[in-house]
Structure 1
Amino acid sequence: MTNRGRRIGRVGGGLPGIDRLFAALLARIDRGLAAGSIEVTLPGGGQRRLGGRAPGPGAVVDLRSWRALYRLATGGSAGWYEAWAAGEWASPDPVALFELFVANRHSLGDTARARFWSRLGRRLAHLARRNNPQKARENIAYHYDLGNDFYATWLDASMTYSSAMFEPGDTLEMGQAAKLAAILKRTNTQPAERILEIGCGWGSFAMLASGRGRRVHGVTLSAEQKRHVDAMALPGVDVTLTDYRALDGRYDAVVSIEMVEAVGREYWPAYLATIARVLKPGGRAAIQFIAFDPALFEAYARNVDFIQTYVFPGGLLIHEPEFRTIAERHGLRWEERYGFGPDYAETLRQWRERFDAADAEGRLPVDLDDGFRDLWRYYLMYCEGGFRGGGIDVVQVTLVKEG
């Protein structure tokens, strides 16, 4: 008899209905795995293979408590993280598990999404952190103001916190330099021309553009990022703590690298209206963003996932067709789309290696406890699996102001 055919037995400890609940959930996951497989060690010591119908990612999971499945069923990806943090499941390679679930996202359906009451509670909390001007500052500070010393231990020397663009054999530093050069090229600017950067991060693009003679006005809501860029004293660069909705003036070009994920769907029109308003006629905006599978976007947007709950409050990935429609409605012509999701998976892998090395060597800030470090390790693995599974993509596009 195969492992898939083996009886699960008294999985719920004998409580009425619990056996059937967990058996049904495992069977549902099994049916939903169109490609790839999971080798599961059950809490009672039994083994089961889920999936295995077609080639795909292979994951190994030690299910130490049935409560992990309860958390998954009721809390979705946030609940599955909570189970991991509680030691209720483990894996020698969680990335493979995340990749597997994302690769089978269509056949699995809403198996890993929160149920109604849990979703409602998380949704209400998420709505309380929607990105109006006041909350946007708080949400950005929650993620980016953890301390420049923290990010410096695992980002590359340029402190670039967005996907690199790799050629075979490139280091992380080389991939980040290539990405920034590609963004600058998209602006089609000349020395002495002025670029607005919405979400300037720790200044890596501003440093490149300044070194090539451009003037840059960078805006951020992170006091830590502004402090870092100010200390660089880059010629022709000024950084202000400014909400994108408050921007005015005229610029030859706009750059925004993975900032729009912090905007939120209801504010996409305001974000794109700002770009259209500040660009000179014929000016170009170079945008890099993370896109979610459009076919599943509505289900994603109705839920509040692990990242929104624990890492980036107020965040939401992009529905690319909708985002493009809004851009074109504001007179921004969509050109030169380039997706490079596998490069983000590699970027995340290298970030995680650096993060783990910094942790092992005691270089992470001492005020960050084990729980925080584990949360961020899980976050990096979770995102890597998402890109490897193809459910999310990273995209560069040029928006040209018509008229």
Structure 2
Amino acid sequence: MDAVTTRRGERLIEGGRRFARKPGLIARTIAPGFGKIIDRIDAALVTGAIHAVLPDGSRRTLGGRAPGFECEVELRSWNALVRLASNGSVGWYQAWASGEWWSPDPVPLFALFMQHAERLGDTARAKGPFRHALKLAHLVNRNSHSGARRNIAAHYDLGNDFYEAWLDPTMSYSSAIEVRGDDLEAAQRRKWQALERRIGDAQTVLEIGCGWGGLAADIAGGGGAVTAISLSEEQLAFARQRNPGPDYRRQDYREVAGAFDAVVSVEMVEALGREYWPDFMDCLARNLKPAGRAAIQYISMREDLFGDYASSADFIQAYIFPGGLLIRTSEFRTLAEQRGLAWRDQTDFGTDYAETLRLWRVRFDAAVREGRLPAGFDDTFVDLWRYYLMYCEGGFRGGGIDVHQVTLVKKG
């Protein structure tokens, strides 16, 4: 990288480093012996297998009892296991970034860990003072009015030119539906159509978290008057130029007061944090007309895993989406129903998200290989972004996280 070029993505990288904990003496004391960690992982794997090369050059297969996800892992330093045992997924990424472990394809490894998360227990979770430190670091990123703007900027203001290099022409940064082959654009348009069917012939529509404006412009093209809000200056500038029609506003959802036939929100609620879920539902109830409909697409964490997940911070929260938290469907639904919003027609399509992420990674790799990423993104950032895409894909393939669409109907 040219010495005078601004290093882009620095806010995410530096933000994640606040969660870093070196595997020193305390970590080694807390973590069990290396052999015990490996034995616990081995015992937990009911299906699938990890074919591992250990730091001493020996080979061992963990699991292998029944068909399932299979992966190859080269454990280059025992430090990687110390990081995993003490600092969970944050430590496991830091071990990857430090070259302490490697795999030709980590996706099935992430899928195995997610699929067996309950059986693995705290083997791969942050624990003790490390768990508390992660939680405290995450609290700094809470989505107050000022915090939300800061958190959104850290991720989405990486630059429109960055996202344009690897997203499909719709500029959709959320799960597609019915992904067939490599035609991601068509699958993203199917997602739009599914959401638009949920709101019917609404004449006035609010979109919360409009991204680059593709969906908002599509709804407006069908005759609806669309108000589209975002906190990202970069995205709004793109939307106004490329997708005219809607009324684009830089506005926090908590500040909206209007009367709309419908509300649409696509994978925005995961950025809120649990303490702000009630505020989001208040926004829907306040802004929907009687009998109005909200079409929501959201990502959830499996119910039996949510408690442990929410009590700390994972790799995604540390490095990718500051302030975020995946949704607990039962809790989210209760909040809606308490406000007179009926929960209707939930559909689940996590395997489509896994395929969406795979295609994003294919496109991202091609952009890197062909030199189409804009200047300023160094190897550290590129490696972080690829890891993020693989980590998320594995989570969906392992079934611990899912994506849904649901219609919320305000009582008339």
- Report if TM-score (shorter chain) is over 0.5: yes
User: Deviation digits for residues 56-81 of structure 1, max 9, x if unmatched?
Assistant: 10111000000000110111001000
Q: State yes or no: 1:88 paired with 2:100.
A: yes
> Residue 126 of structure 2 corresponds to which residue in structure 1?
114
Write the letter of the residue equivalent to 1:345.
A
Is the contact between residue 256 and residue 288 of structure 1 (CA under 8 Å) also seen in structure 2? Answer: yes
Change (3 A) 1:168 1:159: closer
Shift of 1:188: 1.3
Q: State yes or no: 1:126 paired with 2:138.
A: yes
User: Deviation digits for residues 112-169 of structure 1, max 9, x if unmatched?
Assistant: 1101211111211110111111101000001100000000011000100000001544
Paired with 2:401 and 2:56, the residues of 1 have a C-alpha distance of 36
From 351, 355, 363, the equivalent of 1:342 is 351
> Residue 391 of structure 1 corresponds to which residue in structure 2?
400
Is the contact between residue 327 and residue 334 of structure 1 (CA under 8 Å) also seen in structure 2? Answer: yes
User: Deviation digits for residues 293-331 of structure 1, max 9, x if unmatched?
Assistant: 011101000110000001110000000001000000000
> Residue 277 of structure 2 corresponds to which residue in structure 1?
268
Is the contact between residue 31 and residue 85 of structure 2 (CA under 8 Å) also seen in structure 1? Answer: no
Shift of 1:232: 2.5
Shift of 1:98: 0.4
Write the letter of the residue equivalent to 2:208.
I
Q: State yes or no: 1:135 paired with 2:135.
A: no
Is the contact between residue 200 and residue 219 of structure 1 (CA under 8 Å) also seen in structure 2? Answer: yes
From 200, 204, 210, the equivalent of 1:200 is 210
> Residue 38 of structure 2 corresponds to which residue in structure 1?
26
Of 133-142 and 161-170, the range deviating more from structure 2: 161-170
Shift of 1:110: 2.0
Shift of 1:189: 2.1
Q: Any residues of structure 2 matched to 1:185-264 within 5 Å, and which? A: 185-190=197-202, 193-232=203-242, 234-235=244-245, 237-264=246-273
Name the SS for the 2:321 alignment partner. coil
Write the letter of the residue equivalent to 2:157.
D
> Residue 11 of structure 1 corresponds to which residue in structure 2?
none
User: Deviation digits for residues 226-278 of structure 1, max 9, x if unmatched?
Assistant: 1111112522x111111111110101100000000001111101100110110
Is the contact between residue 38 and residue 50 of structure 1 (CA under 8 Å) also seen in structure 2? Answer: yes
Write the letter of the residue equivalent to 1:71.
R
Change (3 A) 1:249 1:19: closer
Paired with 1:315 and 1:398, the residues of 2 have a C-alpha distance of 22
> Residue 8 of structure 1 corresponds to which residue in structure 2?
none
Gaps of 5+ in 1: 1-15
> Residue 39 of structure 1 corresponds to which residue in structure 2?
51
From 299, 307, 310, the equivalent of 2:308 is 299
Paired with 2:31 and 2:341, the residues of 1 have a C-alpha distance of 56
From 279, 286, 289, the equivalent of 2:288 is 279
Write the letter of the residue equivalent to 1:149.
D
Change (3 A) 1:301 1:17: closer
Paired with 1:120 and 1:350, the residues of 2 have a C-alpha distance of 36
Paired with 2:377 and 2:169, the residues of 1 have a C-alpha distance of 21
Change (3 A) 1:167 1:225: closer
TM-score normalised by L of structure 2? 0.91
Paired with 1:213 and 1:146, the residues of 2 have a C-alpha distance of 32
Of 52-61 and 148-157, the range deviating more from structure 2: 52-61
Q: State yes or no: 1:352 paired with 2:361.
A: yes
Paired with 1:17 and 1:260, the residues of 2 have a C-alpha distance of 39
Of structures 1 and 2, the one with the larger relative CO (CA 8 A, separation 6+) is 2
Is the contact between residue 166 and residue 174 of structure 1 (CA under 8 Å) also seen in structure 2? Answer: no
Shift of 1:51: 0.9
Name the SS for the 1:109 alignment partner. helix
Shift of 1:54: 1.8
Write the letter of the residue equivalent to 1:223.
E
Q: State yes or no: 1:163 paired with 2:172.
A: no
- CA RMSD after TM alignment: 1.4
> Residue 162 of structure 2 corresponds to which residue in structure 1?
150
Change (3 A) 1:206 1:30: same
Is the contact between residue 35 and residue 54 of structure 1 (CA under 8 Å) also seen in structure 2? Answer: yes
Paired with 2:247 and 2:298, the residues of 1 have a C-alpha distance of 24
Paired with 1:20 and 1:221, the residues of 2 have a C-alpha distance of 45
Write the letter of the residue equivalent to 2:137.
A
> Residue 103 of structure 1 corresponds to which residue in structure 2?
115
